[in-house]
Amino acid sequence: MISWSAAEVAAAAGAELVTAADGGPARAAIDTRALEPGDLFAGLRGEHVDGGRFAAAALSAGAWGVLVAPEHAEGLSGGAVLVADDPLAALQRLATAWRRALDAAVIGVTGSVGKTSTKQLIAALLAPHRRVAANPANFNTEIGLPLAVLAAPEGTEVLVLEMGMRGFGQIDELARIAEPDVGVITTIGPVHLELVGDLAGVARAKGELLAHVPVAVVPAGEAALEPYLAGLDVVRFGPAGDVVLEEFTPPLARIRARELAVMLEVPFTARHQLVNLLAAVGAVQAVGVEPSGRVDVSFGPLRGETIALPSGVLVINDCYNANPLSMRAALDDLATHEPHGRRVAVLGDMLELGPSEVADHRAVGEYAASHGVDVLVAVGPLSASMAETFGGAAHAVADATAAAALTAELVRPGDVVLVKASRGVRLEAVAEALAAAASPGAGAPPGASSPAASPGAGASSPAGSEASARG
């Protein structure tokens, strides 16, 4: 937006320009704590707080301007003032206008599992060939996605946007904002069933993306998506698909992608990431890029990161989120490790599964037992049923604090420890406790969990936290 005038910004947003300012904003922000000089601050209404109340503070902090509801515009000075009855809708319109002005190819990514990793892999494959931008962290909602679009700099050639879902109509809303050229669906699995009913509902919700694109990249053999593929150029990845893994000899992955041989050097061995890699290859081919060479990608904290402790314990910290599909994938990855000691799985509750939640947890316990887990620590009331079906050395504890204390006592040098649960369980406390036990005096005390981030009083527009991702 840096080349736009205040009048052009207001027109694109469908807002009234009350006060002008020189030039245009560098990006948009909804949190005064993250505000940088030159930003456009959007004061969004929230359930408990109206962010428009912080518009004056944003201008005082150096904002280029503010986008607020009419009741917050009076008396504002020191920058551009844009007024709209619905600031969020105006922010979304502005994002769509900027997406069109960029004239970049847009790849939309969703799925029950793996959408963030696939987004990062797509961006990494594109980076040597195109100027690429992607939404950071969990900016995958009706608020975060437009912020990500507006942060894309001039000259961006490909924009990679993760799209989250917590019900019907939400992917459709995001796709209308982003106007994607390629739609990637990583998986269809039992996530958010309390909102969409069953797997057919998951496919319908995720399939909303496909109504907006000419090219679809989808898992081979996923019958639930077939009703949404009519008339599209379809790229199927996985066994018997258009993009398949022919050989993997770490770190080299040999892939056949629509009859083209692709050789990539990857910094991971997990099977589920290799599947995500196939989806990413299909997506970048769809925008005219033939990937090759080293894939410079990092999946970030809590997403399967491996931590080698001085004590000789290897921790696989994968507690960002969990559902039955990702639990099985993580246990598959754990089974590939050949520890000098034992395979220890610290598994917590999988949330928002609906009526099948008990059966799903019992199935994970059985899967762990049959896939080489030596010790299971089940964390939370739902996960107690994992311990029941696991048999053997199983321990059931109430919460993350108890799990952290117990695991620190249980593990021995040479063990490999998988830590995984839904985000709400806060199971990163276990990894912190193990690190503290291995390095006395460093890190958090055993059993202490990281506090949830809490906004400073009066600091942000209420919708500003993107800490809770959608599936």
Residue-wise pLDDT for 245-301, tens only, equals 999 999 999 999 999 999 999 998 888 899 999 999 999 999 999 999 999 998 877
Residue 468 lies in a domain: no
* Bridge partners, residue 378, by sequence: 347, 396
Over range 426-454, report the average pLDDT: 61
Tens digit of pLDDT for each residue in 134-173?
999 789 999 999 999 999 999 999 999 999 988 899 999 9
Whether residue 286 is found in the same domain as residue 316: no
Residue 128 lies in a domain: yes
Confirm if 11 and 74 have CB atoms less than 8 A apart: no
Name the pTM for this structure: 0.84
Whether residue 159 is found in the same domain as residue 251: yes
Greater confidence (356 vs 58) lies with 58
Whether residue 339 is found in the same domain as residue 264: no
Q: Before 128, cis peptide (omega within 30)? A: no
Domain boundary residue, one of 261, 294, 327: 294
Whether residue 142 is found in the same domain as residue 278: yes
Question: For residue 468, what pLDDT is reported?
Answer: 39
- Provide the pLDDT confidence category of residue 461 given band limits of 50, 70 and 90: low
Whether residue 285 is found in the same domain as residue 348: no
Whether residue 111 is found in the same domain as residue 139: yes
Write down the residue that tokens 């300012």 correspond to: 21
The domain that holds 231 is classified in CATH as 3.40.1190.10
* Bridge partners, residue 346, by sequence: 377, 419
Please count the structural domains in the chain: 3
Whether residue 221 is found in the same domain as residue 368: no
Whether residue 260 is found in the same domain as residue 142: yes
Tens digit of pLDDT for each residue in 27-46?
999 999 999 999 999 999 98
Residue 333 lies in a domain: yes
Tens digit of pLDDT for each residue in 354-411?
888 999 999 999 999 999 999 999 999 999 999 999 988 999 999 999 999 999 999 9
DSSP 463: G
Residue 348 lies in a domain: yes
Residue 459 lies in a domain: no
Whether residue 63 is found in the same domain as residue 114: no
The domain that holds 35 is classified in CATH as 3.40.1390.10
Residue 287 lies in a domain: yes
Does the pLDDT value for residue 459 go beyond 60?
no
Question: For residue 137, what pLDDT is reported?
Answer: 77
Nearest to 4 by CA among 95, 75, 84, 76: 95
Among residues of the chain, what percentage have pLDDT more than 90? 77
Residue 206 lies in a domain: yes
Question: For residue 392, what pLDDT is reported?
Answer: 87
Question: For residue 302, what pLDDT is reported?
Answer: 75
- Provide the pLDDT confidence category of residue 425 given band limits of 50, 70 and 90: very high
The domain that holds 382 is classified in CATH as 3.90.190.20
Domain boundary residue, one of 29, 53, 87: 87
Average pLDDT of the chain is: 90
Does the pLDDT value for residue 440 go beyond 90?
no
Domain boundary residue, one of 294, 316, 346: 294
Whether residue 434 is found in the same domain as residue 351: yes
Question: For residue 451, what pLDDT is reported?
Answer: 31
Question: For residue 457, what pLDDT is reported?
Answer: 31
Question: For residue 2, what pLDDT is reported?
Answer: 66
Residue 382 structural domain: 305-438
SS3 label, residue 173: helix
Whether residue 74 is found in the same domain as residue 191: no
Greater confidence (330 vs 1) lies with 330
Least confident window among 62-66, 335-339, 340-344:
335-339
175 phi, psi to nearest 5 deg: -65, -35
Whether residue 201 is found in the same domain as residue 312: no
